Amino acid sequence: MTAAGNRQLERYDLLERIAVGGMAEVFLAKAYGAHGFEKTVAIKRILPDLARTGEFEERFIDEAKLAVGLSHANIVQVLDFGRDDDTLFLVLEYVDGIDLAALLARYRSRGQTVPLPAAFHIAIELARGLDYAHQRGVVHRDVSPSNILLSRAGDVKIADFGIAVPDARGLRQPSQRRRIMGKWRYMSPEQTRGEEVGTRSDLFAAGAVLFELFTGDKLFPGDEPEQIMANIHDMDIPSASSRRP
């Protein structure tokens, strides 16, 4: 984690950087109000080197517009959206805990698997959050362990709608090849080909996540994108019970 120098972003104090990705960085922050009110939040902003790039700014605005309309217990809530100098930022609900990728890595390092009651709880809550988004015509496109947050209180929340799109079934424009974005190991076959994706693509990704959650094994092995893609297209899918009785 990197200290943020306690600098301010409008009415928010940035405390420390807690995550960084290809497009944005996330800070732990405090929001202040009247009569001593304060609230811990997470602030996501475009990386400084990308802040002046029109494509990334447009994607960030699209994320804000999609995510602000999603209000559900299993989706990280967007609280505010703004601009500071040349940088756009999102204010998000802070989830005090870890992501599913970290939890799986922790159990894997011990040679253990996630206990079944906990795995079922995570699976059910993930399905509820995805169903809510899908019912509102939003396709996440990046359902993966690192985007599933687990709070210390037992909450399960889907995060990062940065590459989400409206369901292709609701679009009237002709189908066109899209830039491939997301994590290869959890992509549907159509997403690896850069085709339009719908809610079924998210369900395919969720299936890969749940296989790993219950068995501790990644569903599609491989170290390089080409090898992973070949497995996604051609591999016989093993049963989870063959890996964990």
Amino acid making up residue 44: K
Q: Which of 142, 160, 167, 202 is catalytic?
A: 142
CA distance 6 to 14: 5
Q: What does each C-alpha distance from 30 to 20, 89, 160 come to in angstroms?
A: 19, 14, 20
Alpha helices by DSSP H, the chain: 54-68, 100-109, 116-135, 189-192, 199-215, 225-234, 240-243
Segment holding 139, helix H or strand E: strand 138-139
Output the six-digit token pair for 79: 């609280």
Please give the biggest Cα pair distance in the chain: 61
The separation between CA 217 and the C-alpha centre of its own chain, rounded to angstroms, equals 20
Please indicate whether residue 160 is annotated as part of the active site.
no
The separation between CA 18 and the C-alpha centre of its own chain, rounded to angstroms, equals 15
Amino acid making up residue 117: P
SS3 109: helix
Q: What does each C-alpha distance from 109 to 104, 135, 149, 224 come to in angstroms?
A: 9, 37, 20, 22
Residues noted as catalytic:
142
